[in-house]
Each structure stands twice: as C-alpha cells, then as structure tokens.
Structure 1
Amino acid sequence: MTVSHRRCLATLIAFGALAIAPVTSAAAVSSPPRASVTLEPAHESQGRIPSHFVGFSVEWSLVERYMGPAARNAFANLLGNLGTGVLRVGGSSQDLMPFEPDAPDSDQVITPTDLSAIRSTLDAVNGRSRTPSWGVVLGTAMAPPSASRPFAGPDHARAFVRQGVEPAFAGAERDIAGIELGNEPDLSYHSDLDAYLSDLNAYADPDVTGPLPVIVPNTSEDILPWQDIDQRTVPTRFFWDWPRILDTAAPLTRARAGAFGAYASDHFYPLARTCPNKPYRCPSIGALLSDEHMASLDYQVYAHAGEARDHGLGYRLEETNTAAGRGADGVSNVAAAAAYGLDLMFHAACPQPPADPAANATCGTGAVGVNFHNAEVRAFFAPEEGNGYYNAIDYDVTPAMGAPTAAPLYYAALVFGRFAQGGTGLRPVPVTADDPGAAQVKAWRVEGGSGERRLFLVNKGDHPVTLTVSAPGSTALVDRMTPYDPSGAGRTLDAPQVRVDGRQVAADGSWPGFRPAAQRIHGHRMTVTVAAGEACVITGG
C-alpha cells in the first residue's frame, strides 16, 4: 500500500470546485464506478460548527476510574488532544447515587472527593486560561422518590450544589456548563409530563440550584424508525412534548446561562444490545452504518434542535453512542464505530431531515455538540468486570485504576475536534454514483481559517473506493483515519483498533501529532483510495 493509500481524512485548502469520481473498486466490476462532487462557495454565517462541539459522558460510578489520582493525567491529555469540548458526568447513575458530603469516597455514592477530582482534571486541561477549553456538566438526581432512590428531592439537589459543587469549583465557576437535572425523565416519570414539569420548576428554583446554569430535559426515546415517529403510530414518550417542556424550561435556562450558553439536551441510540421481537434495534455493523438509522438520528436532531432554537436555546446531543445497553461486542468496539461516530457528528451538526431533505441544505439548524457515553460493561458498581463495549475511552479495570486508553471511537472525536469543530460553511456534499458501493462514501465540507476548505470523506462500506479529485494547485496533503488489525488478518470494519496517519495515542494519553502524506496533483487531478471503514482529509494549495 502506498503512502497516499495510508491516509484518508481529506482536507482541501484553497480549492474552488472539487469533483470526485470513484474510478476503481476492490469489488469485481465490469466498469469502474463513477461519481462526482462539486463544492460551491459557502457563506460563513451559516453552517458553523461551534467550538466545544466534541465531548464525552461518563457515569458518576466511574469518576475514580477516569479522574482518580493515577488516571487523571492521561484522561486530561485525552481531553486536551481534542482542543475544546464538554465533559458530562452523569447518566442513569445520577438518579441512583446519592450525594453524601460526609461519606468515605467510593463508587457507590457521590462525595466532595469526586467533585474535587473533576475540578482537578479540568484544571489540568484548562490551565490558567480565562476562557476554559473544556467545561463540565454535573448531573444530579431529579426523579420521583422510589425504593432505589429514596433520597431524591429538592433538598438533595440543594445539598449537591451547595455542599459539593460550589466549594469544589470556587473560583472556577466558568468551567461549569450546567447542573443537569435528572436523566431520561421520560422513563423515571413514566411519561407523566405534568409531574415532571412541576418538579422541574421546583428544582430549577435558585433556592435549590443557586445561580449555576441548569440543563434539561435530558430526554431519551425508544429506538424506532423515523417514519413511525413522524406518523405518530407508536408511543414516543416525551418526543412530541418538547414544545411544552421548553415553554417551561427555556426561561429558566436562559436566565442562568454560563460560559457555554443555554441549551436543551437529548439522547439518541440507533441500536440496542438486546432486541427481543424488535429487529430494527438489533446490533450489527451493517445496521450501524446504514442510511436508515442515520435518517432516524437526522429526524430527531432536526426536530428538537428546531424547537430549542425557537425557544432561544442551543441543542446538545449530550448522550449518544452505537447501541443502548452499554454497546454490542463486535459492533461498538471495532473500527466501524469510528466511521459511524465521525459521520454522526456531522449529521448532528447539520441534520438532513428525511421527510424534507432540502429543508436544512445550508445547515442553519443543528446541534451545538455531541457527547459519547462511557460506562461499565454490565452494571454500575462492577467496573472490574470490564468496559462498556461502546466506550470511546477505556478505563483501567484493575485495582490500580491507572491511565485510561483510547478506543476506536475516540479517534473519530479526535479527527472531528482537530479538523472540523470551530469551522464554518458546513455542508453535506452529494456523492452521486452508479455503483452502490460508492454510495457508502459520505462527504462533508467545512471552511477553516484563512480561506481553507476542508472535505471529509467517510467510507462506510466494506470495500475500497478510488476517487478522482479535481483541484487546483500542485500538491496535496492527505491524512487518514484507518482501521488497524494487529493480528495481520486484514480486518477492516471489524478491526479492533484504529490509527490516524498510522499513529496511535500514547500510553500517557498524549497525541504524537498528525503526519499527513504529500501527494502531487497532475493537471488539477489526483486520485485517493478510501479503504473500507476509513475516513478521508486532502489538504491542497
């Protein structure tokens, strides 16, 4: 394989029109597949990808594993590699784990030690900057009291903020993106919207949560085809109640917006680890990478981001990953997850509503960020059993609780964080081809500083596609996010590891840097082969 074939995140700088055509494929074909792509000038005022777009979400039960003394430095490096972002600490654990200010530190309860560990991690990432590179969302319980959460109530939330968060973050309040009130209330309130809204008013009162920003509604939805949701033929929990929820929530959140802005949050999973009698939910690489499941993401994000915008709020997909139930082995922990994750972030930033594909052509509606969730493989409080299959960052399962390590999905966040976030002129780029395999190559463009134009190519198919690129200039730089199979068996989408420019994150969590390959452009044309599962940036001038 040549140097040009080992790189594929493709960024083009200072090019006008760009045409891309698949000319060969590893699949046996009688004639080369053809496709074309043309990039028109974009308006920077539309299609902006905010800074702090990328992010991760971890359960409270894993704070020691990611941010304890032995893990903190590597975890801080893993965050810092991405530039800017938002860390969410929460999930189902926030409604199950009480805050106990005087309890010994453990993974069974939230303590001031946990909050100090989070603060120390952000200090390591942000340094002395007046504008934080990374912010944090701190989740607390907001749910009806039950046998599993007898402590739930406004008094508990008040103690969490006053005795935990405020002392730990004194002098660094700017780092707090928000106090998240409850997790997936559509489940904990059994779809009782009136009860939820009543509690929301009580918990959001400044007497409870102080002056800090609050984040709601943190809703989830069942895994359903978008057509069924659109036709309202299936139960949808709180999906269609967002206008009423935001009527209550928006004034509360806007009034207390912090450095990261006021936004509403939502969850999305395309698949589930288990799928009894629901084939649509069943995990496989093919289902994960399908246009069908991405269309359901587009539908949800476009609907809820639009509602948030109409209420003066941003919208963050603050919990997502490849499959609910902590992921699926062989699907969530392989290179296919990286290809999916990179494409997902573009779709979240610029959802293409399947019912009206042209409605968001200029990317005026979209998310301000995405958080990939991380958890234990089976259940809370059993971290030694292993990492969730979908984890982007794997924690150390041993009693040493040492340095976390980058999993395949992490590399998608790394590529997006360093090449896409903060850009403008975001657009989906049509790839039209007669060959079905070429249709699995997804293309997005972003404009960076100094007139840069970046083209991202993501091959979600199971065979290579060679593309002809028309561009001015004489030389291009090509980077590649590539499946890596240490066994030498040649696995691609199901490869257990990923590399970028042939490099991996170091043991201390640091990134050694990108290493693009130079490639000549002859007669304003060049060819780039995008292998199965690769994401491709051509930088030309």
Structure 2
Amino acid sequence: MKVRTARVAAALAAAALVAQPVTSAAAASSPPQASVTLDPAHQNQGGIPRHFVGFSVEWSLIERYMGPAARPAFAKLLGNLGTGVLRIGGSSQDLMPFEPDAPDTNQVITPTDLRAIRSTLDAVNGRSRTPSWGVVLGTAMAPPSASRPFVGPDHARAFVRQGVEPAFAGAERDIAGIELGNEPDLSYHSDVDAYLHDLSEYADPDVTGPLPLIVPNTSEDILPWQDIDQRAVPTRFFWDWPRILDTAAPPMRARAGAFGAYASDHFYPLARTCPNKPYRCPSIGALLSDEHLASLDYQVYTHAGEARRHGLGYRLEETNTAAGRGADGVSNVAASAAYGLDLMFHAACPQPPADPAANATCGTAAVGVNFHNAEVRAFFAPEEGNGYYNAIDYDVTPAMGAPTAAPLYYAALVFGRFAQGGTGLRPVPVTANDPAAAQVKAWRVEGESGERRLFLINKGDHPVTLTVSAPGSTALIDRMTPYDPSGAGRTLDAPQVRVDGRQVAADGSWPGFHPTAERIHGRRMTVTVAAGEASVITLHDHS
C-alpha cells in the first residue's frame, strides 16, 4: 500500500496538468441520479479475514491447472490475489479413487497429483512460515455404489497416509483441511442418520490422522429463501446443521490448523437447466437480481450463525453463477464479475432478508468464498472445453499450458487486493432518484493501512452518476469494467473484463492497478459508474 499511496501526489499532478476530470461528460451535463454518504467514523467491527478469496478445482483437472506447463501461470494467478484458499474437490472427489501405484491420469488421484498441488503452493508461498495460500484436499465419503465401489474408511486412510502426508511433509501448515465427502445431502439421499454414522468413523484420527477436518460440505436446492424459512419445501440437510455440527464440531475444533476450524457450504443462485422451475432459469437479469442474493444472505446468515454457536467459522467453499457448470452468455460474460464482487460482500456481511438490521455490524459472516471451476460437460473430457462459469480457464489443448483469467477472476482480484484483510465492513445505502440507480450497490471497507474505501457496483445496463459525500481531500479510483473487443459496445454481456484498462498477461502476471485521481471539494465528489462497472474509491486525507 505504501507504493500506492506514494502515487497519489503524482497522479494528482498529472490530472492537474491535463485538466481532465475522471468523471464523464454525462456527469457534467446531467444532475446526479443517486447519492451516497460515507460515514467519517471509523468502525471497529466487520472485519474481512485474510484468505477470504479462493477457487475450487475438480480433481479431474489437476493436470490442466497444476501440471508442469500450467503451474507457473496458475501460481501467478493465485499470487495476484494476495492470500486465499484453494479447494481441490467437488463431485469428482466421490468418483475418483486414490490409487498410490497407478499411472497418473485424470481419472484417478495419485501421489503425482498431490505433489503437483504442493509444488503450486510452494511457488505461491515461497519460504514464508505463514502461508499466503492454503489448500483443502477433498476425499470420498459416500455410500458405496457401482460407480464408487472403493469408498470407505480404508480408502480415506490411504489417501491421507500414502498420499497427503508424504506429499506435504514439512508443509503441513499449508493444509486448511481434509474435506470429507462432497454434497452428502445428495449422496446420502437426505439420510442424516447414515451420514452421521459414517462421519463418526471417518473423523476418527485412526482414519484421517491429525489433519484438520472440513464438513459438512452440503448443497441446497435452488429455492426462494421464503420457502426455506417457512419449511414449505424439502431442504435436504439445511435444517440438520445443528445436529451435524453437534457431532462434527468437537473433532474439528481439536484438529484446527493454521486456517482455523470452519464448516462449509455450497450455493448456486441458478442452474444451467430449469425444467418447470422458472426461479432457477439462468439469465443476466436473474443473476443480478436482489432476490437471489437474498437467498444467499439467508443461507449464509443461518449456517454461519450455527457454525459460530459451535465454535466454528463458516466458508462458502463452492459457489458460482449457475449449477451444472454454468450457463453460456450468463456465466462467461462481464455480468458474472459484477455478481461475483457483490456476492463476496454479501457472504462477508449477510443481511438476513427478514431482518437486515440483525447483522448491521457484520458480526455473523463467512470467512471466505471459493468460486468453482470444472469441465464444460463431464468429468474426464477436458478437451471439450471449460465450464461456462470458470473464473480461470484451463488450456484445452494437449499442451495443457498456461491457464487464463476469465471475467469472474477480475472480481476476485479486486476483492482480494482492496477488501480482504480490511475492517469496518458495512453495506452503504444508495439514495436513488432514478430507477437505473436502484441497481447500484455500495459497500465500505477500511484498508489494512487505514484507507477508507467505497465500492460502487453498477449491476444495471445504464451508466449511473452519483454524488459521493465523503471525508478526505483526495481519492484514487480503480474501475472494473466490461470490455468488448468487437467494438459493439456490449456491457453486461461483454465477453471480457478489464481493471483500470488492464488485463492479466498470458503468463498469469498482473501488471498492477492504475487508478485515476480526483480531488474532493467540500467533502463531495461526483462519480459516474458505467453499465456493469464496479468502482473502488480509496480516500486519502492528504492535502
């Protein structure tokens, strides 16, 4: 942050020389459509943990993201975010056996895969005793079946003893946890008794050793929060969390590692297919709607509160724009970045829809979010293409070269560099006098060096001009903006995203932020946020 702060004076001087304001011509010729007031008082509550951001990758894609040719770029893509948690798992962890002596292919988990993960973390973390990035390693825990005859405590024991422990010898601190099973509410057919019986076996140190444990890794059907709250619909394990954590929390707390003990959950607002369920149908409008984030708020607030009552944190360890590997034209366009940025703030400070004031200080919250990445259609067919929702696209060719940043990655980049590790998180009311302005969402955070930051996220398809009342004398503005290389002017449906006009390089490196500067006059400034754009305003008291 010192380098960034030192650039303030230079940026202001350059702005004065060219006499070019950062606000648009439209802002100068039309009255503001909304206003935002940033409280000058510092807030002590509402912290966003380090390691908040993260990605989730299926076991079937280890070679594509962390093989020898892919690893250097993927490590840079992680490092750009500062700190985080990489989760390895998903449905593949219940379908792919660990085979210590098998040739390395994308259909089995082998020691080679685990060494590739270790090498990736070594590249990101260097020699630091405090890891910048940790990893969750998922192993199978589900009822045995014809498609997974290998599943059982002996398999989990082999995974830990013959795979994880040798690969991570000397770097045990990097392991955030061993994840037991994926979406057990589905694999156990909502039979919580059978699940808890198996969980007690797998949690035994004789099976999973001394390493941290992560459960229950549950999913939920895509439903309005009101239906869940009224218990008017089947909800799998949603209301069984108290009972599950009664069993799981004691060994989880006892075996907590460097990343703490936390329970985990999954959330998808939409689905690629939605037969007879319009609420699930993917579209940009539905993705950016308030109603789906209200359902997220409800789930996070409910389960984070239950986790806290059991002495645990809570992580949204698998999420994205639409279940079923995303939706073309929704999950792989700029709208996904606007959604993803707002989602991370909601997870860090859920506003329970029935009573938003109940969490005004953001005391009940997630400790992190992982955006999921998978193949476009099915496991073991990576050459067919990337999942539409992937934040980081892998190389589909046999070269298995450098992964690349997709639109959603830029949301994680902005949040990772400007929000996580901060304090004083709060939603900020936007007073709108134009219907278009109702689509602007605002959040405040205080940076690790004491800077006040205001995030303005325009989830609409029209630019919005706002009057910002804020303390300080100068501001730096970074912008995450839709980018249409065709020149057709697409915004929310643009295929790419830029931050400060810049993109991640082909080798995964980030060239750095390049904010514009503006002076604040009389504690007021005018800012125009373009369609689909997010602006980060960092305030400084320097005169």
* Cα distance in 2, alignment partners of residues 321 and 141 from structure 1: 22
1:2 CA displacement: 27
* Cα distance in 2, alignment partners of residues 41 and 20 from structure 1: 29
* Cα distance in 2, alignment partners of residues 428 and 73 from structure 1: 37
* Cα distance in 1, alignment partners of residues 17 and 194 from structure 2: 54
Provide closer, same or farther for how the CA distance between residues 117 and 237 of structure 1 changes in structure 2, counting only shifts above 3 A.
Answer: same
1:32 CA displacement: 4.5
Q: Is the 8 A contact 1:13 1:452 kept in 2?
A: no
Q: Is the 8 A contact 2:421 2:448 kept in 1?
A: no
Provide closer, same or farther for how the CA distance between residues 148 and 532 of structure 1 changes in structure 2, counting only shifts above 3 A.
Answer: same
1:521 CA displacement: 2.9
Provide closer, same or farther for how the CA distance between residues 13 and 373 of structure 1 changes in structure 2, counting only shifts above 3 A.
Answer: farther
Provide closer, same or farther for how the CA distance between residues 17 and 64 of structure 1 changes in structure 2, counting only shifts above 3 A.
Answer: same
1:13 CA displacement: 18
Q: Is the 8 A contact 1:26 1:465 kept in 2?
A: no
1:107 match: 106
* Cα distance in 2, alignment partners of residues 187 and 411 from structure 1: 32
Deviations 1:184-224 (A, max 9, x none): 00000000000000000000100000000010000000000
Deviations 1:108-155 (A, max 9, x none): 000000000000000000000000000000000000000010000000
* Cα distance in 2, alignment partners of residues 184 and 421 from structure 1: 27
1:173 CA displacement: 0.2
* Cα distance in 1, alignment partners of residues 37 and 174 from structure 2: 41
* Cα distance in 1, alignment partners of residues 123 and 381 from structure 2: 28
1:151 aligns with 2:177: no
* Cα distance in 2, alignment partners of residues 252 and 92 from structure 1: 24
1:309 CA displacement: 0.4
Q: Is the 8 A contact 1:6 1:501 kept in 2?
A: no
Q: Which has the higher contact order (CA 8 A, sep 6+)?
A: 1
Q: Is the 8 A contact 1:140 1:180 kept in 2?
A: yes
Q: Is the 8 A contact 2:32 2:467 kept in 1?
A: no
1:451 CA displacement: 2.8
Provide closer, same or farther for how the CA distance between residues 225 and 9 of structure 1 changes in structure 2, counting only shifts above 3 A.
Answer: farther
1:537 CA displacement: 1.3
1:362 CA displacement: 0.7
Q: Is the 8 A contact 1:19 1:468 kept in 2?
A: no
Provide closer, same or farther for how the CA distance between residues 397 and 491 of structure 1 changes in structure 2, counting only shifts above 3 A.
Answer: same
Deviations 1:230-259 (A, max 9, x none): 011000000000000000010010000000
* Cα distance in 1, alignment partners of residues 438 and 370 from structure 2: 28
Q: Is the 8 A contact 2:37 2:468 kept in 1?
A: no
1:525 CA displacement: 2.7
1:126 match: 125
* Cα distance in 1, alignment partners of residues 89 and 25 from structure 2: 44
* Cα distance in 1, alignment partners of residues 55 and 98 from structure 2: 22
Provide closer, same or farther for how the CA distance between residues 351 and 11 of structure 1 changes in structure 2, counting only shifts above 3 A.
Answer: farther
* Cα distance in 2, alignment partners of residues 356 and 220 from structure 1: 24
2:405 match: 406
1:37 CA displacement: 2.5
For 1:8, what is the secondary structure of its paired residue? helix
Q: Is the 8 A contact 1:181 1:215 kept in 2?
A: yes
Provide closer, same or farther for how the CA distance between residues 168 and 195 of structure 1 changes in structure 2, counting only shifts above 3 A.
Answer: same
For 1:164, what is the secondary structure of its paired residue? helix
* Cα distance in 2, alignment partners of residues 490 and 7 from structure 1: 32
Percent sequence identity over aligned pairs: 91
Provide closer, same or farther for how the CA distance between residues 13 and 443 of structure 1 changes in structure 2, counting only shifts above 3 A.
Answer: farther
TM-score (norm: length of structure 2): 0.94
Provide closer, same or farther for how the CA distance between residues 31 and 398 of structure 1 changes in structure 2, counting only shifts above 3 A.
Answer: closer
* Cα distance in 2, alignment partners of residues 17 and 231 from structure 1: 58
1:9 match: 9
Provide closer, same or farther for how the CA distance between residues 197 and 54 of structure 1 changes in structure 2, counting only shifts above 3 A.
Answer: same
Moved more, 517-526 or 123-132: 517-526
* Cα distance in 1, alignment partners of residues 203 and 411 from structure 2: 35
For 1:276, what is the secondary structure of its paired residue? coil
For 2:318, what is the secondary structure of its paired residue? strand
Q: Is the 8 A contact 2:22 2:517 kept in 1?
A: no
1:27 CA displacement: 11
Provide closer, same or farther for how the CA distance between residues 232 and 174 of structure 1 changes in structure 2, counting only shifts above 3 A.
Answer: same
Provide closer, same or farther for how the CA distance between residues 367 and 10 of structure 1 changes in structure 2, counting only shifts above 3 A.
Answer: farther
Provide closer, same or farther for how the CA distance between residues 494 and 27 of structure 1 changes in structure 2, counting only shifts above 3 A.
Answer: farther
* Cα distance in 1, alignment partners of residues 485 and 531 from structure 2: 16
Q: Is the 8 A contact 1:21 1:35 kept in 2?
A: no
* Cα distance in 1, alignment partners of residues 2 and 255 from structure 2: 54
Deviations 1:445-483 (A, max 9, x none): 001134311100000001000112233444321110000
1:138 match: 137
Deviations 1:48-104 (A, max 9, x none): 000000000000000000000000000000000000000000000000000000000
1:6 CA displacement: 21
1:333 aligns with 2:332: yes
Moved more, 168-177 or 469-478: 469-478
Any stretches of 5+ residues in structure 2 without a counterpart? Answer: none
Provide closer, same or farther for how the CA distance between residues 378 and 186 of structure 1 changes in structure 2, counting only shifts above 3 A.
Answer: same
* Cα distance in 2, alignment partners of residues 333 and 350 from structure 1: 26
Provide closer, same or farther for how the CA distance between residues 249 and 41 of structure 1 changes in structure 2, counting only shifts above 3 A.
Answer: farther
* Cα distance in 2, alignment partners of residues 248 and 54 from structure 1: 28
Q: Is the 8 A contact 2:153 2:207 kept in 1?
A: yes
* Cα distance in 1, alignment partners of residues 164 and 297 from structure 2: 35
Q: Is the 8 A contact 1:341 1:409 kept in 2?
A: yes
* Cα distance in 2, alignment partners of residues 17 and 352 from structure 1: 41
* Cα distance in 1, alignment partners of residues 13 and 26 from structure 2: 31
Q: Is the 8 A contact 2:32 2:465 kept in 1?
A: no
1:444 CA displacement: 0.2
Q: Is the 8 A contact 1:17 1:39 kept in 2?
A: no
TM-score (norm: length of structure 1): 0.94
1:33 CA displacement: 5.7
1:45 CA displacement: 3.9
Deviations 1:268-309 (A, max 9, x none): 000000000000000000000000100000000000000000
Q: Is the 8 A contact 1:39 1:429 kept in 2?
A: yes
Provide closer, same or farther for how the CA distance between residues 278 and 18 of structure 1 changes in structure 2, counting only shifts above 3 A.
Answer: farther
For 1:449, what is the secondary structure of its paired residue? coil
1:42 CA displacement: 5.5
For 2:305, what is the secondary structure of its paired residue? helix
Deviations 1:305-340 (A, max 9, x none): 000000000000000000000000000000000000
Q: Is the 8 A contact 2:27 2:465 kept in 1?
A: no
Q: Is the 8 A contact 2:21 2:518 kept in 1?
A: no
Aligned pair count reads 539
Q: Is the 8 A contact 2:38 2:469 kept in 1?
A: no
Provide closer, same or farther for how the CA distance between residues 264 and 4 of structure 1 changes in structure 2, counting only shifts above 3 A.
Answer: closer
* Cα distance in 1, alignment partners of residues 441 and 9 from structure 2: 12
* Cα distance in 1, alignment partners of residues 170 and 383 from structure 2: 35
* Cα distance in 1, alignment partners of residues 140 and 48 from structure 2: 31
For 1:450, what is the secondary structure of its paired residue? coil
1:181 CA displacement: 0.0
Provide closer, same or farther for how the CA distance between residues 26 and 18 of structure 1 changes in structure 2, counting only shifts above 3 A.
Answer: closer
* Cα distance in 2, alignment partners of residues 212 and 197 from structure 1: 20
For 2:12, what is the secondary structure of its paired residue? coil
Q: Is the 8 A contact 2:40 2:470 kept in 1?
A: no
1:500 match: 499
Q: Is the 8 A contact 1:6 1:480 kept in 2?
A: no
